[in-house]
Structure 1
Amino acid sequence: MKTIIVGAGEVGSFISQNLSRRGHSVTLIEKSAEGAGRVDAEQDVKVMCGNGSSASMLEDAGIASARNFVSLTSDDRTNLVACKVARELGKNLFTVARIHDQTYLDHSRVDYQDLFDVDFFLNPEMLCAVELAKAIRHPGRVAIEHFARGQIEVQNMAVSPRSKLIGQSLREMKINPRMRVGMVTRDGETMVARADSSLAAGDQLTVFGNPEAVSEFRRRVEPGETEGTVRVVLYGGSEIAISLIRLLKHPRFRVRVIEPDSHACEQLASRFPGLTVVHGDATSRRLLEEEQIDSVDYFVACTKEDEHNIMTCLQASKLGAAHVQLVINKPDYEDLLDDLRVSMGVASVVSPRQASVKELVRYLDRESVVELSSMSVRSTRLLEVAVSPESAAVDKKLMDLKLPEGCLLVALLRGVEANVPGAQDKIEKGDRVLLAVDEGSRQEVIRLLTRKG
């Protein structure tokens, strides 16, 4: 599989190396002669020095025969233009643009992804924030999965004997349309949920949907097991911190940010009214003591300075913070992640580069049908299926789609957006759908979505 990458920075060169090891034929374009020379000496990939958004350069790189095009420079506009030019020159090309500025991720006025015809926007900072938010939003929960950057969440929950939902069918429950009950396990038997499925005490449910909608449904399934206030302190007003603040917008999260730059403090305070922003340096033990770090549930060091992150995590851990999370930016420290986690008592360590590779590989290497084994149970499977352009399901509303018995469509992924679809929603070419399927219906639904109608 031929993949062209533009940009040999830390993320670009790391992804280039990983894709090459996975069998991709990689061509890397870098405008800096120094950067191009470094990668050429260190990696077994084809390296070209020049402008990755130039049509002639892309033609020389073999864009006509490429399967993937990934632009990972530090400049968003270069990445968008490069992907647009590549799209004009390539055939059946999957394009990825690294995007840093939240402006291009806001689709309220202009859909920049559609405007520049880019298949996937990659935001390493957002990916890190999603990883950090998993533990904060659901400490100790089992089988928590996230799809489409945290937009779709999967949770397992048990029906409490005190739940008022016992004896009701799913049709009667008035469930939030942004979520689905996908699977029900009772007495060791798991089945795909149906509209007439009723709940009994002790049932294990696998629920899919918007995180807030899923959390609200959990309170109905497990009454009395309320989630208390979670106190979170972030060190650094970085893009990772900003993304994490958005993911923790629920009132039960009390978030404070410590930021040493006064101008950055002002920007954070104006962007997030009601957010507590402390101007100070968290490497100071005195400041951490004044901020009562010993009583917080989560302390997250997410500045761009790894040394500061490591020092503050050490301090926070020794002062008694319940959980400490660390962001590592530099490749020099990545080999020490496991050692840091053990020696420092850090609950989780994340790296923008590693998070980017993990996400990107899912898109570049994934097959048309992927079984999500971590969420599959016995004879019931959770499948992610790419809808073929020739499929009979394309342009059909879900209400008109004749899914086999024992099959439930629980999520629809389109570009960077994901949702729990309703009966009026249509399947479009290029969509990926998430399905809970009984083993007996597996092949029939795969044929429906992937083969010519």
Structure 2
Amino acid sequence: MDALLPLHVPTESSDFMDIIICGGGEIGGSAASAMARRGDNVTVIDTSETRLSYLEEHYDIAKLQGNASSAETLRVAGASNADAVIAATGIDEVNLVCANVAASLGAGRTLARVNHSLYLNDDSDVDYARLFSVDRLFSPDRATARAIAARLRNPSALAVERFARGSIEMISFEVESNGKATGMKLRELEMPEGSRVVAIKREDRGRLPTADSRLKTGDQVTVVVDIDRIGELDGIFDAHQDRRRSIAIAGGSPSAVWVCRALQSHGDRISLFETNLPRAEELAAKLDWVSVIHADPTAPEVFEDQSISQADAFLALGEDHMNMLSSALACTNGVPLVMAMTHRPGLKPLMKQLGVSEVFSQRESVREDIIHFISDSPFERLNTIPGTPVELIRIRIGSRSSLTEMPLRSLGADAGMVIAAAEDDSDRGHVPGPDHVLTAGRHVLVACEQGREKEVRKLFDAS
């Protein structure tokens, strides 16, 4: 499988931002360093002078010692004129209050770190973000889990995940002889509403599709689809079949719980191994679609008894020492895809040497999420679809674009691009239909062939 290309942080705009970060610990410090490297004006608030001095010595940031949830401290830091205030301490309640106060002072955007899933439950009757006037709640555990789940689905899926906040997925299919699409042009194919083909790979050549693209057996088709429409794609490109994967997870960490939730809609067969009996019992009650097993996944006999070597993927999501041992065992036993999480990015090279396919760091995952959210760049290259020349671009629709206030069906077949997703009123994204009307000021996710970026920028007035 092709390697995931890194998310590109926009560097073309000279409009650097004024950012205040409350909390200079592992997460806040990582975000501060990344934004300072971008050229943003960063102020870090923390109660620890030692921590602040370290950040000031190593990065181009301003420091302010004080209580980040204090209105006076935030006022002195310049919250009223800040483009964004990011509350990243280790205490949920402090972060919520901090973001709320910053919003009341006039900060452009507010983000608050929360660790407890209570604040992130989409099924809850209480919208905590709205209640505390926070533009975005973020969790290091959930950010890491989403990155892992996206990597399991498709190497380019994370770009879509970040754009749509989990409401859209990118999935790859191989066209089979007994699928409905075989031999048909895309214009003839009855695709479910909320889905769109964004790339086709035939043998070693990939391309952007048009309405007249005819599908053949063996083609690799990449589709974006609203998450509640995934099941409707079954049987279109391949035969109706059980595509559920067998996934083994070592460690019952919060990130592991979020991974299980992210994969729930796919119906994958998930086995989660947890050595702590009370925690295993808690997870069994919470995750009723997961087989929770009280056992040590670093023990060779457990690997053999539970047939872990037969899994399609192995995820090491516990503490670093267990992750290294269990992932090494999985690699030795021939599991085809082994991924691990680490709290120490310095361990990544060593884990790669063990044969781990992909290593994820919480601080890196959440840092990319933060940068993606606060970035208001009119043009941002995100990723490429592996094996094709198709590039994913996040682009803001300018007021002078000829595409505004007209339905997508008016876009010619020779436009050299596919609009894969569009922002909506909920600040999430959806796959637009032919009658969708583009609105100036909003962002869209565009798939286009490399080398046509200038044409696309001109078309969207994204200068």
Q: TM-score, normalised by structure 1?
A: 0.81
- Mapped contact 1:295–1:322 kept (Cα < 8 A): no
Q: Partner of 1:178 in structure 2?
A: 194
Alignment-derived partner of residue 66 in structure 2: 50
From 278, 292, 307, the counterpart of 1:263: 278
The residue number in structure 2 matching 1:329 is 343
Matched, 1:298 2:313: yes
Aligned positions of 1:345-384 closer than 5 A: 345-365=355-375, 367-372=377-382, 374-375=384-385, 382-384=392-394
Q: CA deviation at 1:29?
A: 0.6
Residue 429 of structure 2 is matched in structure 1 by: 418
Given candidates 13, 16, 37, the residue that maps to 1:21 is 37
**1:136 alignment partner in structure 2:** 152
1:36-435 aligned at under 5 Å gives the runs: 36-90=52-106, 93-108=108-123, 109-137=125-153, 146-149=159-162, 150-155=166-171, 157=173, 159-166=175-182, 168=184, 170=186, 173-182=189-198, 190=207, 193-194=210-211, 197=212, 199-201=214-216, 205-210=221-226, 213=229, 217=233, 219-223=235-239, 228-250=243-265, 253-303=268-318, 305-330=319-344, 334-342=345-353, 344-365=354-375, 367-372=377-382, 374-375=384-385, 382-387=392-397, 399=407, 406=415, 408-413=418-423, 417-422=428-433, 431-435=442-446
Q: Is the Cα contact below 8 Å between 2:402 and 2:459 reproduced in 1?
A: no
SS of the aligned residue for 1:148 comes to helix
Letter in 1 for 2:320: D
* Stretch of structure 1 that moved more, 383-392 or 251-260: 383-392
* Distance 1:78-1:356 versus aligned 2 partners, 3 A rule: same
Go from structure 1 to structure 2 and tell me whether the alpha carbon gap of 1:329 and 1:184 turns closer, same or farther (over 3 Å shift): closer
Closer, same or farther in 2 for the Cα pair 1:421/1:84, shift >3 Å?
farther
Greater displacement, 55-64 / 320-329: 320-329
Structure 1 residue 57: Cα displacement: 0.7
Q: State the secondary structure of the residue aligned to 1:154.
A: strand
Aligned counterparts of 1:287 and 1:373: Cα–Cα separation in 2: 39
Q: CA distance change for structure 1 residues 53 and 388 in 2, over 3 Å: closer, same or farther?
A: farther
SS at 1:56 equivalent: helix
Backbone CA RMSD of aligned residues: 3.7
By how many angstroms is 1:412 displaced?
2.2
Kept after mapping to 1: 8 A contact 2:180/2:238? no
Counterpart-to-counterpart distance in 1, 2:448 and 2:101: 40
Distance 1:43 1:167, change over 3 A: closer
CA distance in 2, matches of 1:426, 1:112: 31
Q: Distance in 2 between matches of 1:244 and 1:117?
A: 28
Q: AA paired with 1:233?
A: A
Structure 1's 269 and 212: CA in aligned 2 closer, same or farther, altered over 3 A?
same
**Contact 1:301/1:327 (8 A) holds in 2:** yes
Q: Is the 8 A contact 1:148 1:417 kept in 2?
A: no
Q: Deviations over 1:250-279 (max 9, x none)?
A: 565211111122222222111122421122
Alignment partners' CA distance in 2, 1:324 and 1:295: 12
* Unaligned segments of structure 2, at least 5 residues: 1-16
Identical-pair percentage: 26
Tell me how far 1:7 sits from its aligned partner: 1.0
By how many angstroms is 1:71 displaced? 1.1
SS at match of 1:435: strand
Q: Give the superposition deviation at 1:12.
A: 1.0
Q: More relative contact order in 1 or in 2 (CA 8 Å, sep 6+)?
A: 2
Compared with structure 1, are the counterparts of its residues 125 and 292 closer, same or farther at alpha carbon in structure 2 (3 Å cutoff)? same
1:61 Cα deviation from its structure 2 partner = 0.7
Q: Secondary structure at the match of 1:350?
A: strand
Normalised TM-score (structure 2):
0.79
Please report how far the alpha carbon of residue 66 of structure 1 lies from its aligned counterpart in structure 2 after TM superposition.
Answer: 2.2
Please report how far the alpha carbon of residue 23 of structure 1 lies from its aligned counterpart in structure 2 after TM superposition. Answer: 1.7
- Provide the secondary structure at the position in 2 that maps to 1:248: helix
User: Paired residue for 1:8?
Assistant: 24
Inter-partner Cα distance in structure 1 for 2:401 and 2:244: 47
Matched position secondary structure for 1:53:
coil
Q: Deviations over 1:48-90 (max 9, x none)?
A: 2222122211111122332222111122232222222222223
Q: Does the Cα contact within 8 Å between 2:199 and 2:206 map onto a contact in 1? A: no
Q: SS where residue 74 of structure 1 aligns?
A: coil
Alignment check: 8 A CA contact 2:19 2:42 kept: yes
Q: Distance in 2 between matches of 1:351 and 1:153?
A: 22
